[in-house]
Amino acid sequence: MAEPLLQIRDLTKTFVTPRGTVRAVDRVSFDIPRGSITGLVGESGSGKTTLGRTLLRLVEPTSGHTIFDGTDLNALDAAGMRRMRRRMQIIFQDPVSSLNPRLTVGAIVAEGLVAHGIGTARERRERVAALLEEVGLSPDHMSRFPHEFSGGQRQRIGIARALALEPDFIVADESVSALDVSIQAQVLNLLLDLRARRDLTMLFIAHDLSVVEYLCDQTVVMYLGRVVEVGPSRDLYTAPAHPYTRALVSAIPVPEPGGAGARTILRGDIPSPLSPPSGCVFRTRCPIAADVCAEDPPVAVRAGPDHIAYCKKIEAAHDLV
Amino acid sequence: MSATAASEPVLEIEGLRVAFRARRSAVTALRDVGVALGAGRTLALVGESGSGKSVTSLSVMGLLPRNGAVEAGRILYRRRDGTRVDLARLDETRFRAIRGREIAMIFQEPMSSLNPLFTVGDQIGEMLLLHTDLDARARRRRVIEMLELVEIPAAASRMNAYPHELSGGMRQRVMIALALVCEPALLIADEPTTALDVTIQAQILDLMRRLQRELRMAILFITHDMGVVAEMADDVAVMYAGAVVEAAPVATLFARPSHPYTRGLLATIPRPGRPRGERLVPIPGSVPALSAMPPGCAFAPRCPIAVEACREPVALAPLEGDHRVACHLAHAHETVAAHG
Ligand SMILES: Nc1ncnc2c1ncn2[C@@H]1O[C@H](COP(=O)(O)OP(=O)(O)O)[C@@H](O)[C@H]1O
Ligand SMILES: Nc1ncnc2c1ncn2[C@@H]1O[C@H](COP(=O)(O)OP(=O)(O)O)[C@@H](O)[C@H]1O
Ligand code: SF4
Ligand SMILES: [Mg+2]
Ligand SMILES: [Mg+2]
C-alpha cells in the first residue's frame, strides 16, 4: 500500500482553563490515505475542531506529531511550515462570517494567492474567476459581498478560497452541517467532483454519520478527545465494533416509517471534559462496561481489515470468531 | 386510522394567511395553509428553513411577532370542554386561559423558555401557582413528579439547580417538564431536538413518545429532518415557501410521495446502504425570497418536470383518501387516468 498522505501519531492538545485542564485531543493516532476522504465524527465537544486545527499546526499540539507526505510538521521551523502551509488548507465552519465583511468575494478567494505573492493582479483575477466557476458560482460574484449570499453559496466561496493555492489536503469543518438537505446534497456532490478532478485528500468533519457514510471512504469516531474507532465507512456503519459507534449508528433516525430497528439508547450525558472518567472515557455511558474498563485506557484492537477499535470487550468477542 | 381521522380534530387550520410588514412593503409568509391534527396524534410539519413552520406554530400560540398578522383564515381549536374557538380571533385575556394550560410549546433553544435567574423548580412551581390551586407543599411534590417524569436523575436536588448548571439535554428535559406541567391537550414542538447530538436526540424523542402515550396529547411536531418525521409522525404536512405542498398519513407520504418537492427532498437524503458511488440528486437552485415569489406554483423554478401550466397558481387538493397534493401534474395525471 502507498504511504498515507498524513500519519497522525499520539497527537494531544491540552487547554488550561480557569476551571481546570481539558484534554481536548488525547493521544490520537490514525492515517489518512492519499486521495481519500476521511470523515471525523463525534458529539459536540468531542474534539473534532481542535484535532483538525492541531494536525495542521494551526494550533500547536501539546505533544505528538503529524507526518505530512513524509515530513514531520512538528519538526519544521516557521519558514519550513510556511512553505508547507500552501499544501494544506482548512474550510472553517462558517467560512465567510469569520472574515472581514468589507472584503469582496474576489478578495476573500484571492487572499492566499496574495499572501504567497502568486501571480499578477490580473492573473489572480483570472484564477479567482475560474475557481468561482469550478465551485458553481459565477465570476460576476467576485465584486459582491459575502453577506449577500445564502449558506450554501458561502460554503462554495469557502471551498473556492481553500482551492486557490491548489492544496493536496483540505480539512472541511462542518461544511454542510448548517445547510438544508437539498443544498447539503449540492455541496457534497461538489466535494466528490473536486476530489475526483483534483486528486484531493480531505478530512471531513461532521456530526451526521449518514453524511459521512455517503461521502467518506474512511471514518474516524471520537468521544471526549479520544479516537474510539477507525475503519472503512461502510464497515463502520454496517458492523460498528465499538459500543459508542453502535449507539451512534442506532440513534440515527431512519427516513422510512417503521425503519428504525431496535435501538440502544445511551443513558446520561457526555461527562465533563474537565474530569473525564478513568480508563475508557466512554465507560459511564457504555451499556457493556465492566470493572476492567475503569482501570486503564483500552488499546487498539483489530476489528477487520483497516478497521480498529479501542474497547476492552472487543478482544473477547474476537476470540470467539 | 380512519376512526381517529373521522373524529373531530383538536386543531384545524384553514386558509391561514400571515403577512409581515417590512420597512416599506409587506411580505406574505404563509399562503393558504390548511392542516388538521387529530386528538392524541402527531402531525409533523416538515420543510426547509424559511418555509413557514415556525410562523405557523407561533400563529397557533398567538405569539406572532409585532410586525406580523393573520390576514385570513381560521385556527380552530377544540377545547377540553368540547367548544371550538378560533385562535386567530381570540382576545388576549381569553387566550391566556388556553396558552400554557391547554396548548403548550417547546423550542429548539431551551433558554427561550427558561429564566436564567430562577431555579428550575421555582419555574415549574410558578406555572402551577398560575394555573392550579395547589398549595405550596402539593406544588413542590408536583415539581419533583414532573422532573421525574422527564427522567431527570435526583429530581429532589436538581430542582434547586439553575438552568446554566444543567447540560443541554437536561435543559431540554426541564423545558418539556415546564410545558407539560398542566397536562396540555396540544403540544407544539418547534425543532426540539435540532440542536442536540444524535444520541441525546434519541433520548428526547423516546421521552416525547412515552409522554404522549401517557398524557394522551396531540403534538404538532416541527422538524426539517425526514428521519425524525418517519419516527415521530402519524400525519405529515410538507411545507415549501409558505404553503403546504403535500399532506398525507406518514406511511403514504413515504411510500407515494407525489409532489416533486417531496420527492426531491427524499432523494437528497444520504441513506446508508446505497450502492457505493451512487450520487445524491440535489434539488437545483434555492428557495425564492418571500419578496420575489413566482406567480404560479412556488416550486416551478426548481421543479424538474414543470410545464407551462405550472405558472398558474395551484392549491392543495385531494389525490386519494387523506393524501393531498398541490401540483398541477399530480392532478393532471389523475384526470388522465379518470378519463382513460
Ligand atoms: N481555546 C480553547 N480553550 C479551552 N478549551 C477549549 C478551547 N477550544 C476547545 N476547547 C474545549 O475542547 C473540547 C473540544 O472542543 P472542540 O474541538 O471544539 O470539539 P468539537 O469540534 O468536536 O465540538 C471542548 O471541551 C471545548 O470546550
Ligand atoms: N418578524 C418577521 N418579519 C419579517 N419576516 C419574517 C418574520 N418572521 C419570519 N419571517 C419570514 O417568514 C418566513 C417563514 O419563516 P419561519 O416560519 O421562521 O420559517 P421556518 O420554516 O424555518 O420555521 C421566512 O421567510 C422569514 O424570513
Ligand atoms: S472499554 Fe469497556 S467501557 Fe469502554 S467501550 Fe469497551 S466495554 Fe465499554
Ligand atoms: Mg467543532
Ligand atoms: Mg423555524
Q: What is the pLDDT of residues B73-119, one digit of tens each?
A: 999 999 989 999 999 999 999 999 999 999 999 998 888 889 999 99
The alpha carbon of residue B241 is apart from the nearest alpha carbon of chain A, in Å, by 14
- For residue B63, the model assigns a pLDDT of 94
- For residue B315, the model assigns a pLDDT of 93
| Interface confidence (ipTM) of the complex | 0.88
B146 occurs within a structural domain: no
Q: What is the pTM of this model?
A: 0.91
- For residue B333, the model assigns a pLDDT of 56
pLDDT of residue A228 exceeding 90 = yes
B277 occurs within a structural domain: yes
Q: What is the pLDDT of residues B233-268, one digit of tens each?
A: 999 999 999 999 999 999 999 999 999 999 999 999
Host domain of residue B325: 256-339
The fourth-level CATH superfamily of domain A4-320 is P-loop containing nucleotide triphosphate hydrolases (3.40.50.300)
Helices A151-163 & A105-115 angle (0-180, nearest 10): 20
Q: What is the pLDDT of residues B126-173, one digit of tens each?
A: 999 988 899 999 999 999 999 999 989 899 999 999 999 998 889 999
B107 occurs within a structural domain: no
Interchain contact, B199 vs A248, CB within 8 Å: yes
10 Å CB burial of residue B76 (0-12, 13-18, 19+) is middle
> What's the whole-number average pLDDT of chain B?
91
| pLDDT above 70 coverage of chain B, percent | 95
Is the Cβ–Cβ distance between B29 and B220 less than 8 Å?
Answer: no
Interchain contact, B280 vs A44, CB within 8 Å: no
Q: What is the pLDDT of residues A33-49, one digit of tens each?
A: 999 999 999 988 999 99
Instruction: Identify the DSSP state of A265.
Output: P
Nearest to A222 by CA among A69, A90, A66, A52: A52
Nearest to A236 by CA among A255, A251, A216, A265: A216
In three-state secondary structure terms, B222 is strand
Q: Using a CB-CB distance cutoff of 8 angstroms, which residues of chain A are in contact with residue B250?
A: 257
Amino acid identity for residue B222 in this structure: I
The alpha carbon of B245 and the centre of ligand 1 are apart by a number of angstroms equal to 42
B278 occurs within a structural domain: yes
Q: What's the total number of domains in chain B?
A: 1
Best of B197, B210, B302 to disrupt the A interface (most A CBs within 10 Å) is B197
User: What's the grid cell of residue A18?
Assistant: 480557569
Q: How far is CA A218 from CA A6, A205, A223, A237, B292, in A?
A: 13, 12, 17, 11, 43
Is the Cβ–Cβ distance between B253 and B320 less than 8 Å?
Answer: no
Residues A19-33, buried b or exposed e (16+ Cβ, 10 A)?
eeebbbbbebebbbb
The alpha carbon of A49 and the centre of ligand 4 are apart by a number of angstroms equal to 4
B47/B327 Cα distance (integer angstroms): 16
User: B85 pairs with which residues across the strands?
Assistant: B77
- Give the distance from CA A63 to its chain's centroid: 20
Q: Using a CB-CB distance cutoff of 8 angstroms, which residues of chain B are in contact with residue A213?
A: 270, 272
B269/B78 Cα distance (integer angstroms): 37
B273 occurs within a structural domain: yes
Is the Cβ–Cβ distance between A229 and A223 less than 8 Å?
Answer: no
Residue of A nearest to B153 (CA): A268
Q: What is the pLDDT of residues A153-203, one digit of tens each?
A: 889 999 999 999 999 999 999 999 888 888 899 999 999 999 999 999 999
B206 touches chain A (CB under 8 A): yes
* Model confidence band, residue B4 (pLDDT cutoffs 50, 70, 90): very low
B170 touches chain A (CB under 8 A): yes
